[in-house]
Amino acid sequence: MADTKRFEGYGVLVTGAARGIGAAVARRLAEEGARVLVTDVDPPEAEKTAAALRELGLTAEALACDVADRASVEAAVAHAVDAFGSLEVLVNSAGRCTPDTPLFEDGPDDVWDLDLDITLSGTYRCCRAALPHLAATGRGAIVNIGSVNALQDFGNHAYSAAKAGLGSLTRTMAAHVAARGVRVNLVVPGTVRTSAWEGRDDELEAMRSLYPLGRVGEPDDIAAAVAFLASRDASWITGTALTVDGGVTAVNTGFLRATRQNRDV
């Protein structure tokens, strides 16, 4: 459990918070004193996450929220404000990633559209609904969850394009809302051990050698970065992308391994 209480008195809304990164973010901010609304398209799992936080003596509620639906998003924001009295932090963790077809040209329009709608447009909808309330507090912060897929080819065309779009949206929105006292930043995770990798432990183990720090990420690694950017410790930081990826985008480990092997011959 976090030792600090940087979010005492804060109202927080986290999307995609039933499990994985979103759940870890909800827990970390609640541990630091926030009142957290856990939202997700899976209401029973969202309630499980919120209930687990309440069992720890933390303040959390759960609510169904489909970020593809404007009315659902606006209802979630209104619920957070009504329940907590204010909304200081929005964390956009909801996203959708569909495996690519073997041939690029076989990718269906509906899959492309839905991945972008959930991952990119969903973030837009949440920010649009939350901004008046965030601005009213004088300490509002938005943290978007991006991906290293926006920086290099790790597959998943639609998801990658959506995450790249989040980088641009973060920068432009940060400039647009700065005068209203709201900061907007992006966390860029590498491979993180979540339910998306369930049953694929061999793949995760194989990836370890690609990461200079020798392991894949855990949801708590991302939650710690989110907590920093959402807090007043980052009060002079906006429009930035914080890469939390164990060094995978800093070093071409495959290239280095190949060149070192050649030198050893």
Task: Verify whether residue 159 is a known catalytic residue.
Answer: yes
Beta-bridge partner residues of 14: 38, 91
Task: Choose, from 5, 48, 124, 159, the residue flagged as catalytic.
Answer: 159
Cβ-Cβ contacts under 8 Å for 178 (sequence gap 6 or more): 238, 239
Tokens 């914080």, residue?
242
Pairing, β 35-40 against β 11-14: parallel
Question: What strands lie across the sheet with 241-244, from one edge to the other?
Answer: 59-64, 35-40, 11-14, 89-92, 141-145, 183-189, 241-244
Name the nearest CA neighbour of 187 among 240, 139, 150, 238: 240
Cα torsion 130, 240, 237, 94: sign: positive
Report the amino acid identity of residue 38.
Answer: V
Task: Verify whether residue 5 is a known catalytic residue.
Answer: no
Residues catalogued as catalytic: 159, 163
